Structures are given as structure tokens and as C-alpha cells.
Structure 1
């Protein structure tokens, strides 16, 4: 990360040094609307702010991580990827930034994308002694399995998800079976979400894998437990994330770096907006709330973006100058 940030600042000189000669008006720019909700909402937030606050002409194009990055790197289009999870393209991104084709702007998810084992906040409040996964494993009675209440349940992931592999290996590494727990493999994402909803309705304990930002964590307050160790990338790559690893060790989940990335041409065409994309970022709790509202109201990405701009000005107004903020508010 240090290497990548250093490269980014060096490349950023392309537009920082050009600051005094920036165009007074914003040009035509294209933004990738990725095929997952948080990134889709971010794309519409950017469109609304860039159009109404900076006078840009914005078009949205469908995208996903790999294809969008490849197109930006090779063709300089689209101009902007608001939410790029860089772990899968880190090496190529470092090269593109170093060579001046792309610019890595602010981390849009200020805390990164997070994974882990979670428990309901109401249970954490009632049992403040539970701070780690190991603490939770001392209390199988607090997390009863629905089909066998005499045992505790650790909820895993549906078949085909990488988290099912890591959860299974951590279950083994922690000796959870000997502690009185069984591993519960849901058949689908809906079943996993349903188990959380049921726990909150019945006020019973729940322990298992989940990730943020997500709508379910916006609807239900959960606490992510520590595994008591730092993330060991070598162990993760060689065992924790490998099916049927014979001797897994306790490990923590990695935090995914999630940044906004723009092309060099974006900095040239929309230089007046570079301060914005270098300041913009929100925490997972905020995104969780927006996603939960979106889910409950069957809203579109644009609906959710407008909801955010209308209800969270204390967050986004800090990303722009006061005059830009007023223009955006007037257009809502």
C-alpha cells in the first residue's frame, strides 16, 4: 500500500502541477456504473455532483471490476471508476499509475471493504466480555443451532463463495467443534440473511461470517469480532483461503482496499473536479444505511444517490467548496 500511495502522489503531479492552467469549465466525462449497489450509488452521486456542482456533461456506462479496469488502462475509457476494489488488479494498477495512464484518487470506502465473524449488537451489549471470536466460542449456549439447540452454530457461506472456504478453515483452526459448535452452510445468500433476520426477531444469538458494506448490516446492528491476531497474508494465500487445507491457523480476514480511479484524460478535462475526487469517501456505516434504505424502498441507484445527498449533507458537503455544495443542493 505504501508503495502504491507513493506512486500515486508522484503521478498526481500530472494534474497538481497543471492546476493553474485548469480549464474553467468541465468537459464531457464518462463514469462506470458498476454492477453492485454501493458502486452504482456512488456513480450516481458523482454524476449529480459533477453535473450540478461543476457543470460537467456526464454519461454512465455499465461496468465491473476487471473489464472496467482493462478498458480504462488500455483505452482511457470510461474516465472514472468510483469504487474499484483493487486487490484483483493491484499490480496492473501500480504500473498504470507509475506510467501516468491512471490516477488513484481517494479511498471511497474510508475503512475499506471488511469481512469477518459478527454477532448482534444487542448480544454484545448484554455480554461485554465477548470481544473476540475465542470469547464467543466459550458460550455455545448463546448461539444455539436451530436444528440442534444443544450445540452452538457458526454460520458460513453458500457453496461457491470463497468465504465458505475461509470460514471452514477458521472453524477447524479455532477448534470450534470441540467447543460445542457446528458449522451451518446456508444454501443461498437469502438463507444466510434470513438467519440474521430471525435472530433479531427472536432476540437470539447469531455468530458467523458477513461483510460490509451491505444492506443487511444497515438494517441489523452487528459487531465484528476480533480473531486476536493480525492478518497473515502468506498464511491466508497458502492455507486460510485454500480448500481442505490440512493444518489451518487462526487468521484475520484481509481488509480490501477500495479506491476511486480516474484516467489522465479525466484530470485534463475535469481538472476543476480533482479536489472533489481526492476528498470523497464515506464509511461503511453510512453505506450500510443507504443500502438498507434502498432495499426497504426497492429503490434504484439514482434514488439512493438522491436520498444520500438530501439526508447526509453533513458528509458530502465537506468534499466540495461551499459554492459547489449550494449548487448541488439547489438542483435536488
Structure 2
């Protein structure tokens, strides 16, 4: 820069549009020539037309820092159509030795046709509808269940097919005693060997207070014949008797066979001697019975101690 052009050539006065104003024209500002600078004479040529500068390749003239031919001022440089190569653009792969590259579309930003892919609004709508439907179904189920609970609270005591009524007293007794075992009063027994009925001593439970007397002699015997036994089984024979404060025992025969154990008639309660009225008590002996009819005999044989009164006889299951 020379001292002769320090005026309008200074950067602060380098107005590219000075030629549009009167003072600019007076100072020598001119419109830009085709492809050259514009503004004041000798101004710094800093502004270039759009697309004039090229990157990554040499200019059309091949000289470093030189300008490529540009279109006349006010005209848009001719470009190729959409998708056609631009004459002013040189891709790196077109330069000598340039690598061939492939365009990789960004995920979710195109489908090969340049069209973007928006959010999946259809899927969101279906999900919202499913949530609403689930809530409605849940409310309906809750309301239905509440009605069932009320009905359940009002259920009667009649058992359903899956329930069982509490067993009655009669059913419980049947479970404990699968069969009705026979029982007999002393006055209904067959009496032999000097035995007889009497009601002088109080405390007998048989009807009318009768009991078997006269058993305290050899040859005395009482016989009980009964039927209705459903199966052959082992049972217990119970006898209610009274002794005068002393122990006694007698021979027991079942269906013609002497029992291995005699019928013990001991003074288990320790009643006073000679007092029959306070000597009433019970004893038992095991017996093996047949199905159907059976015969039990109680007799006073040689060597037995037979001073006893008989009130009742009965059978029970073995615990």
C-alpha cells in the first residue's frame, strides 16, 4: 500500500456497496466488474461469490490461491439437477488416489428414499387401548367378586357336594360300635343247679331289681343264648355282680368250650364283709364268638369260690 491510497483503501472505509451512494461515487467507487473486485479503487478484494472458493481440490486454473471462473455478477451459477454432480464440487473419492466410500444412512433417519421415519404412533395407540381395557376388566371382576362374597356370607348350613355334615350322635355311636352287641338281665338267663331269682338285696339295675341268687353251690349254672353276631370275633364279656366282702370266681364256657381264664368275681372295691348291698361291682373276661348264634355258660365247678349274686351280662368290643 502506498501513501497515495491510504484514504478509501483502509479496511474501515472499504465499503463494497459504496458505489450505490453519492459520496461513494464521488470517491471513485465503481460496480464490480465481471469476476473482479468491487468497491473503491484499490480496495482489498476480500469478498468472493458464493461457491467461488473450492476446498479439497485445486482451482480451475491449477494455481494456488487463484480464483476459478465465476458467473457474471447477479447470476446464479448453473448447477446440475437434483442428484446430479455439481461442477464446483469435487468429492474426495474423485480425486486421484481418493478412496471409494459408501454412504451409510443414519439409523432411523431415512429409508433409502430420503424420507424420515417418525414415531410409531400406531403402536402407542394400541398400547393405550390395551391398558384401558385391562382397567375396565379389573373393575368388572372386582364388582362381580364382591357379589360372590356376599352370597358366600349368606350361605346356609346345608352341606354342598364337597362338604360333609357333622355326624349325628347316632352316626357317632355306630362308628364306635359297628354292631349292636347283646345285653341281658339276670332274670332272663336260664337258671340251673339250684339258682333262682330274688329282689331282697337292693342295688340291682335289672328291671324290678331282680338278680340271680343261690349260685354259691357246686353245680349252680346260668346260661345265656343269643344270636345276631355279624362276624366271628374276640369280644369282652362283662358281668355285674355282688360279693359279701370276699373274692369269688366261676368257670366260664363259650360254645361248649371252657374258657382258658375263669370269670373273676373279686372284691375290687373293698366292700365290707357280709354286706351284699354295698358289694355291687363289675368284671370282664375275654371270649371268642362265632358268627350268628352263641352260647355262654357261667357255672360253679369243684374248687370254685362261687358266693356271688348276678345282676346283668353284656358284650363289648375289645378297645
TM-score calculated relative to the size of structure 2: 0.15
Larger radius of gyration: 2
Q: Which one has more relative contact order, counting CA pairs under 8 Å at least 6 apart?
A: 1
TM-score calculated relative to the size of structure 1: 0.15
